[in-house]
Amino acid sequence: MSNETFRTEKDLLGTLDVPNEAYYGIQTLRAINNFKLTGVPLSHFAHLVNGLALVKWAAAAANHKLGYLSDKKYNAIEKACQRIVNGEFHDQFQVDMIQGGAGTSTNMNANEVIANIALEEMGHQKGEYQYLHPNNDVNMAQSTNDAYPTAIRVGFLLGYDTLLESLSKLRDSFAKKGEEFAHVIKMGRTQLQDAVPMTLGQEFHAFATTLTEDLERIRTLVPDVLCEINLGGTAIGTGINADPHYQALAVEHLAKITGHKLVPATDLIEATSDMGAFVLLSGMLKRAAVKLSKICNDLRLLSSGPRTGINEINLPARQPGSSIMPGKVNPVIPEAVNQVAFTVIGNDLALTLAAEGGQLQLNVMEPLIAYKTMSSSILLIRAMDMLRELCIDGITANVEHCKNLVEHSIGLVTALNPYIGYENATRIARKALETGKGVLELVREEKLLSEAELEKILKPENMIAPHLALTDLKH
């Protein structure tokens, strides 16, 4: 027999019994019962919960300064919001991330939790809303339609430093390997076929460079597109039910307590319905995911074999690779990153469709937009940290094998092409394929170049960077 006790709360639709220990109220409970979809509650995304609390705190501060909230109510709301931001009560944010109602359930979850924490601060019982009300006081001068999208933006801004840090560390890890492998000559490949020589260091340095591009773009893009907020627009952007001075005060306070340079949207009606910022942000996350996946494809190819593949590098062994094939070790870390990337790409498509699905003055699909944006960011952070710690930092090179592949590659003929001519180079390449002989062996047999000329041409530094001079060519 359960010892759980309940309090009765009422709303537009009637009454429900809410567990006494719950800080959420009747509207949150209805949403919990209605939306059993992803199994991922708001509490899964701590920065989003904190973003909601910060928005409510800023709104209360503005209303208090304008005289609409008493000192007693404001102090209790402020304390409640501070406790949430400090990590308390996150388990009370129980609504599913995907929900109908354009985020109203999320907004009311925040309103009710903050109200009940504040009531206890004031010496009252949870549910005694006559002393401090979720709608009348916590939600004063707000609508879901301005508080919720603002909280999503704030939530992402609170966590994006972690995204930058993970990306930066991974970039640095690749750059370090680029330096470590700078002396390792290998064969470059195009279309999975031998191309021309390069160094393994150049290959890893290119990985670092491509991640640097995304690092810099995300660093500048996120503040640019997320710092313009529609708080103060209330229902559709007209600012109904808000004091004329409320918006400026609320945004100013929110900027202060978040540490981000938040500014009011220039057109609140446009800002209430447009999700273009999230489309751009999601596209940037997708771009980073695509690049990571391509890099992981390369790592799997370069480490393939080990006896019958390319086998130029060794990935750290992380777990046995087969239940039936003894000794097999799989590239599990890059494989997992590939799958994260595919998820982020899928998230971007879902978000894109949600942004397009807005109608008239509101986009009711904002819960999906919040869910996919936050999910992609967290997945990328975890994947990049895993890739760096469990794979990249421990990669080693098979130096002699790389060198042998270059020396026996048909692609080596490209380096000789300017000196022996295209016709000779083509003939040598074909003959090498037909006979199994090496390119250098055939060039020596036909005395197309002297040993001194070959030595100069085949110097590593001459094969991996521009070096050709007119005086080198035979006329």
Active site residues: 322
Answer yes or no: are the C-beta atoms of 115 and 133 closer than 8 Å: yes
Maximum Cα interatomic distance, the chain, rounded to a whole number of Å: 100
Q: Strand (E) positions, 276-324?
A: 313-314
Answer yes or no: are the C-beta atoms of 380 and 295 closer than 8 Å: no
320 forms beta bridges with 329
- What residue type is 273 in one-letter code? S
Instruction: Give the integer Cα–Cα distance in Å for 56 and 69.
Output: 13
C-alpha dist (Å) from residue 25 to 113, 203, 435: 7, 57, 81
DSSP string covering 353-370: HHHHT-BTTB-TTHHHHH
193 forms beta bridges with 190
Instruction: Give the integer Cα–Cα distance in Å for 118 and 120.
Output: 5
- What residue type is 73 in one-letter code? K
Burial letters 28-51, b for 16+ CB under 10 A, else e: bbbbbeebeeeeebbbbbbbbbbb
**Closest alpha carbon to 309 in 320, 301, 317:** 301
121-127's contacts with Cβ under 8 Å and 24+ in sequence apart are: 121/75, 121/76, 121/79, 121/80, 122/72, 122/73, 122/76, 125/7, 126/7, 126/20, 126/22, 126/23, 127/7, 127/9, 127/18, 127/25
Backbone angles phi, psi at 29, to 5 degrees: -60, -40
- What residue type is 258 in one-letter code? T
Backbone angles phi, psi at 11, to 5 degrees: -145, -165
Instruction: Give the integer Cα–Cα distance in Å for 268 and 266.
Output: 6
